[in-house]
Protein backbone atom coordinates (compact mmCIF):
# COMPACT_ATOMS: atom_id res chain seq x y z
CA UNK A 1 0.00 0.00 0.00
CA UNK A 2 1.26 3.48 -0.86
CA UNK A 3 2.38 5.93 1.79
CA UNK A 4 0.91 9.41 1.72
CA UNK A 5 3.18 12.33 2.55
CA UNK A 6 1.04 15.31 3.52
CA UNK A 7 2.30 18.87 3.86
CA UNK A 8 1.04 21.98 5.57
CA UNK A 9 1.36 25.05 3.33
CA UNK A 10 2.09 28.31 5.19
CA UNK A 11 5.66 28.50 6.52
CA UNK A 12 6.18 24.84 5.63
CA UNK A 13 6.42 24.93 1.84
CA UNK A 14 6.77 28.70 1.36
CA UNK A 15 7.52 31.69 3.65
CA UNK A 16 4.23 33.21 4.79
CA UNK A 17 5.91 36.55 5.42
CA UNK A 18 6.17 36.84 1.62
CA UNK A 19 2.39 36.58 1.40
CA UNK A 20 2.05 39.29 4.03
CA UNK A 21 4.42 41.55 2.08
CA UNK A 22 2.53 40.87 -1.14
CA UNK A 23 -0.79 41.57 0.58
CA UNK A 24 0.39 44.86 2.02
CA UNK A 25 1.51 45.85 -1.47
CA UNK A 26 -1.95 45.04 -2.84
CA UNK A 27 -3.60 47.16 -0.14
CA UNK A 28 -1.19 50.02 -0.84
CA UNK A 29 -2.04 49.91 -4.55
CA UNK A 30 -5.79 49.79 -3.83
CA UNK A 31 -5.61 52.79 -1.51
CA UNK A 32 -3.75 54.83 -4.09
CA UNK A 33 -6.18 53.86 -6.84
CA UNK A 34 -9.40 54.34 -4.90
CA UNK A 35 -8.51 56.87 -2.22
CA UNK A 36 -5.50 58.73 -3.57
CA UNK A 37 -3.36 57.27 -0.78
CA UNK A 38 -2.22 57.19 1.97
CA UNK A 39 1.09 55.33 1.71
CA UNK A 40 0.42 52.01 3.41
CA UNK A 41 3.12 49.49 2.57
CA UNK A 42 6.17 50.85 4.39
CA UNK A 43 4.53 51.60 7.77
CA UNK A 44 2.57 48.34 7.66
CA UNK A 45 5.70 46.31 6.95
CA UNK A 46 7.61 48.06 9.74
CA UNK A 47 4.85 47.15 12.19
CA UNK A 48 4.84 43.54 11.00
CA UNK A 49 8.63 43.29 11.31
CA UNK A 50 8.30 44.69 14.84
CA UNK A 51 6.01 41.80 15.74
CA UNK A 52 2.66 43.57 15.56
CA UNK A 53 -0.31 41.41 14.58
CA UNK A 54 -4.04 41.90 14.27
CA UNK A 55 -4.35 45.71 14.27
CA UNK A 56 -1.81 46.78 11.66
CA UNK A 57 -4.40 48.23 9.30
CA UNK A 58 -5.94 50.34 12.07
CA UNK A 59 -2.55 51.51 13.32
CA UNK A 60 -1.41 52.68 9.90
CA UNK A 61 -4.63 54.55 9.18
CA UNK A 62 -4.61 56.13 12.64
CA UNK A 63 -1.02 57.31 12.17
CA UNK A 64 -1.94 58.80 8.79
CA UNK A 65 -4.98 60.60 10.21
CA UNK A 66 -7.42 58.73 7.98
CA UNK A 67 -11.08 58.59 9.03
CA UNK A 68 -12.42 55.07 8.67
CA UNK A 69 -15.04 52.69 9.97
CA UNK A 70 -15.35 48.93 10.29
CA UNK A 71 -16.67 48.61 6.75
CA UNK A 72 -13.56 50.31 5.38
CA UNK A 73 -11.28 47.98 7.37
CA UNK A 74 -13.27 45.01 6.05
CA UNK A 75 -12.72 46.29 2.52
CA UNK A 76 -8.96 46.48 3.04
CA UNK A 77 -8.91 43.03 4.61
CA UNK A 78 -10.79 41.67 1.60
CA UNK A 79 -8.22 43.24 -0.75
CA UNK A 80 -5.46 41.63 1.31
CA UNK A 81 -7.06 38.20 1.42
CA UNK A 82 -8.24 38.03 -2.18
CA UNK A 83 -5.20 39.33 -4.03
CA UNK A 84 -3.10 37.04 -6.25
CA UNK A 85 0.10 36.80 -4.19
CA UNK A 86 3.67 37.11 -5.35
CA UNK A 87 5.16 34.11 -3.55
CA UNK A 88 7.59 31.26 -4.24
CA UNK A 89 8.34 27.92 -2.63
CA UNK A 90 11.20 27.58 -0.21
CA UNK A 91 14.06 25.99 -2.18
CA UNK A 92 13.94 22.91 0.03
CA UNK A 93 10.15 22.80 -0.43
CA UNK A 94 10.41 22.77 -4.21
CA UNK A 95 13.12 20.12 -4.07
CA UNK A 96 11.16 17.95 -1.62
CA UNK A 97 8.01 17.96 -3.74
CA UNK A 98 9.96 17.05 -6.86
CA UNK A 99 12.04 14.38 -5.16
CA UNK A 100 9.52 12.75 -2.85
CA UNK A 101 6.72 12.87 -5.37
CA UNK A 102 8.52 10.00 -7.10
CA UNK A 103 8.28 7.73 -4.06
CA UNK A 104 5.17 8.88 -2.20
CA UNK A 105 1.65 10.02 -2.86
CA UNK A 106 1.58 13.70 -1.93
CA UNK A 107 -1.19 15.53 -0.12
CA UNK A 108 -1.78 19.02 1.23
CA UNK A 109 -3.84 20.30 4.17
CA UNK A 110 -4.12 24.04 4.53
CA UNK A 111 -6.05 26.20 6.96
CA UNK A 112 -7.10 29.74 6.20
CA UNK A 113 -9.80 31.52 4.24
CA UNK A 114 -10.69 29.45 1.21
CA UNK A 115 -10.10 32.04 -1.54
CA UNK A 116 -6.81 33.08 0.03
CA UNK A 117 -5.45 29.56 0.25
CA UNK A 118 -6.57 28.69 -3.26
CA UNK A 119 -4.83 31.80 -4.57
CA UNK A 120 -1.62 30.77 -2.79
CA UNK A 121 -1.69 27.28 -4.31
CA UNK A 122 -2.37 28.76 -7.76
CA UNK A 123 0.42 31.32 -7.42
CA UNK A 124 2.88 28.59 -6.40
CA UNK A 125 1.77 26.36 -9.30
CA UNK A 126 1.75 23.25 -7.12
CA UNK A 127 -1.78 21.90 -7.54
CA UNK A 128 -0.78 19.17 -10.06
CA UNK A 129 1.79 17.80 -7.61
CA UNK A 130 -0.79 16.61 -5.09
CA UNK A 131 -3.24 13.75 -5.36
CA UNK A 132 -5.29 15.17 -2.49
CA UNK A 133 -5.63 18.83 -1.50
CA UNK A 134 -7.79 19.66 1.49
CA UNK A 135 -8.78 23.27 2.06
CA UNK A 136 -10.13 22.96 5.57
CA UNK A 137 -12.24 26.12 5.21
CA UNK A 138 -14.48 24.25 2.78
CA UNK A 139 -15.97 22.73 5.93
CA UNK A 140 -16.19 26.04 7.78
CA UNK A 141 -14.02 27.32 10.60
CA UNK A 142 -14.90 24.32 12.76
CA UNK A 143 -13.09 22.14 10.21
CA UNK A 144 -9.76 23.93 10.60
CA UNK A 145 -6.95 22.04 12.30
CA UNK A 146 -6.85 20.47 14.84
CA UNK A 147 -10.25 19.17 13.75
CA UNK A 148 -10.17 15.56 12.53
CA UNK A 149 -12.09 16.54 9.40
CA UNK A 150 -9.18 17.53 7.10
CA UNK A 151 -7.07 14.55 8.16
CA UNK A 152 -9.93 12.12 7.55
CA UNK A 153 -10.61 13.73 4.18
CA UNK A 154 -7.01 12.95 3.20
CA UNK A 155 -7.37 9.33 4.31
CA UNK A 156 -10.67 8.94 2.47
CA UNK A 157 -9.46 10.73 -0.67
CA UNK A 158 -6.24 8.74 -0.88
CA UNK A 159 -7.85 5.53 0.41
CA UNK A 160 -5.34 4.86 3.17
CA UNK A 161 -5.31 4.31 6.91
CA UNK A 162 -3.58 6.67 9.30
CA UNK A 163 -0.62 4.34 9.64
CA UNK A 164 0.21 5.04 5.99
CA UNK A 165 0.21 8.83 6.44
CA UNK A 166 2.99 11.28 7.31
CA UNK A 167 2.31 14.92 8.15
CA UNK A 168 4.84 17.72 7.86
CA UNK A 169 3.98 21.09 9.37
CA UNK A 170 5.35 23.95 11.43
CA UNK A 171 2.71 24.81 14.06
CA UNK A 172 2.68 22.51 17.09
CA UNK A 173 -0.44 24.13 18.52
CA UNK A 174 -2.60 22.51 15.83
CA UNK A 175 -0.70 20.47 13.24
CA UNK A 176 0.24 17.27 15.04
CA UNK A 177 -2.05 16.46 17.97
CA UNK A 178 -4.90 15.09 15.86
CA UNK A 179 -2.68 13.46 13.26
CA UNK A 180 -0.97 11.51 16.04
CA UNK A 181 -4.33 10.35 17.44
CA UNK A 182 -5.18 9.01 13.99
CA UNK A 183 -1.93 7.06 13.75
CA UNK A 184 0.01 9.42 11.48
CA UNK A 185 3.76 9.96 11.69
CA UNK A 186 4.36 13.66 12.34
CA UNK A 187 7.33 15.89 11.53
CA UNK A 188 7.83 19.54 12.50
CA UNK A 189 9.88 21.83 10.28
CA UNK A 190 11.87 24.32 12.37
CA UNK A 191 12.83 27.15 10.06
CA UNK A 192 15.34 29.72 11.30
CA UNK A 193 12.72 32.49 11.18
CA UNK A 194 9.75 30.26 11.97
CA UNK A 195 7.12 31.77 14.22
CA UNK A 196 6.78 28.56 16.23
CA UNK A 197 10.41 27.48 16.33
CA UNK A 198 10.86 28.07 20.06
CA UNK A 199 7.28 27.45 21.17
CA UNK A 200 6.99 24.95 24.01
CA UNK A 201 3.86 22.81 24.02
CA UNK A 202 2.54 19.84 25.96
CA UNK A 203 3.87 16.43 24.85
CA UNK A 204 0.69 15.43 23.04
CA UNK A 205 1.08 18.46 20.74
CA UNK A 206 4.67 17.73 19.81
CA UNK A 207 5.64 16.09 16.54
CA UNK A 208 7.38 12.73 16.56
CA UNK A 209 10.39 14.28 14.84
CA UNK A 210 11.77 17.78 14.23
CA UNK A 211 13.96 18.86 11.32
CA UNK A 212 15.46 22.17 10.20
CA UNK A 213 15.19 21.55 6.46
CA UNK A 214 12.90 19.51 4.24
CA UNK A 215 16.08 18.10 2.74
CA UNK A 216 16.19 15.94 5.90
CA UNK A 217 12.86 14.27 5.22
CA UNK A 218 14.44 11.35 3.36
CA UNK A 219 16.27 10.26 6.52
CA UNK A 220 12.99 9.90 8.40
CA UNK A 221 11.04 8.28 5.58
Domain ranges of the chain: 4-15+87-220, 17-82
The pLDDT value recorded for residue 50 is: 93
178-218 residue pLDDT tens: 999 999 999 999 998 888 888 899 999 999 999 999 999 99
Helix axes 41-49, 56-63, angle to 10 degrees: 130
Class of domain 4-15+87-220: alpha beta
User: What distance in Å separates the CA atoms of residue 7 and residue 130, rounded to the nearest whole number?
Assistant: 10
pLDDT of residue 171 exceeding 70: yes
Residues 6 or more apart in contact with residue 200 via CB below 8 angstroms: none
The pLDDT value recorded for residue 92 is: 97
User: What distance in Å separates the CA atoms of residue 7 and residue 208, rounded to the nearest whole number?
Assistant: 15
Measured CA angle at 190 (ends 44, 193), to 5 deg: 25
Kindly state the percentage of the chain with pLDDT values over 70: 100
pLDDT of residue 1 exceeding 70: no
User: What distance in Å separates the CA atoms of residue 10 and residue 29, rounded to the nearest whole number?
Assistant: 24
The full 3-state SS of 2-19, as one line of letters, equals CCEEEECCECCCECHHHH
Are the CB atoms for 4 and 158 separated by under 8 Å? Answer: yes
Mean per-residue pLDDT for 4-27?
Answer: 97
**Average pLDDT of the chain?**
96
pTM: 0.94
Are the CB atoms for 3 and 111 separated by under 8 Å? Answer: no
Mean per-residue pLDDT for 142-148?
Answer: 97
The pLDDT value recorded for residue 36 is: 87
Look at 51 and 5; give whichever has higher pLDDT: 5
pLDDT of residue 140 exceeding 80: yes
Alpha helices in 101-141 (DSSP H): 114-124
Least confident among 46-55, 90-99, 116-125: 46-55
The pLDDT value recorded for residue 2 is: 82
Amino acid sequence: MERVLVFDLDDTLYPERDFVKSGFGAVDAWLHEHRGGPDFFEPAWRLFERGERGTIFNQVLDARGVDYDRAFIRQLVEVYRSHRPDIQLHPDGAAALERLGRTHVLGLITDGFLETQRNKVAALGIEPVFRCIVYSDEGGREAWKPSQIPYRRIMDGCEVTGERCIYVGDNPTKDFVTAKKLGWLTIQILRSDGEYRNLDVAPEFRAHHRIESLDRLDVLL
